[in-house]
A and B are shown apart, each in its own frame.
Chain A
């Protein structure tokens, strides 16, 4: 894998994870304060832009690599989102949830490696 491919996979992963965290913040806010406010609109807008960037980078990567080759990197998003949701969004992170997320990540990697 070239440096460029690695860089694009990394940016795709980082933008996807960041989008999920920002969208969650926006939707949580909307549950109490409604959707007609600049905070909600800006969070959803930033989330959509980040997901769009991730989408087109993935589309470019799919033209060069098999879906099964790219899947392990998508699998990493499970553990990153689980940990960052606890750190950034202050969600509860139990040992059971951490082990579950690790098993899902390992399982996705095995599925794509085989």
Chain B
């Protein structure tokens, strides 16, 4: 993790950008896939018919953007740190639904979110110490 660029090229910033793009693309993909769902068509198992939805294309644009950021992240950060941290998206999705869509979050879901936050804290703590030393 040494000799990493700063500013826009900071791999931690790129990791954050990658997460935001994945978050938005997950929601767009689900809406796009639901729009053109054809569960009785055997060909639809391939998912290729999903390309008929404009939302899926927007999701693909975001996926490409997140992929470019992710490749950059992989150049500087070990995979077993970067990947668990990138799963912060798994708490952003339900929290986004709660904040922006007014959906309710059950007690069990709050427990799940707490576990992910605790896990992320465990993974991130040695990184924070390493950053302080640099």
> Could you tell me which A residues sit within 8 Å of B by CB distance?
4, 8, 20-21, 23-24, 27-28, 30-31, 44, 51, 55-64, 67, 71, 74-75, 77-78, 81-82, 85-86, 89, 91-94, 96-97, 99-114
Contact = CB atoms under 8 A, between A and B. Distances in A.
Given A60-B45, A96-B125, A21 B39 contact: no
B116 A20 contact: no
Contacts, number: 167
B71 A27 contact: yes
Given A94-B126, A99-B122, A103-B116, A82 B45 contact: no
Interface string B62-73: 010001001100
Given A21-B79, A75-B90, A114-B111, 5 more contacts: A59-B56, A60-B47, A78-B87, A85-B80, A108-B87
Nearest to B119: A103
Contact of B90 (A64, A85, A111): A111
Contacts of B87: 75, 78, 104, 108
A35 to B, nearest CB: 10
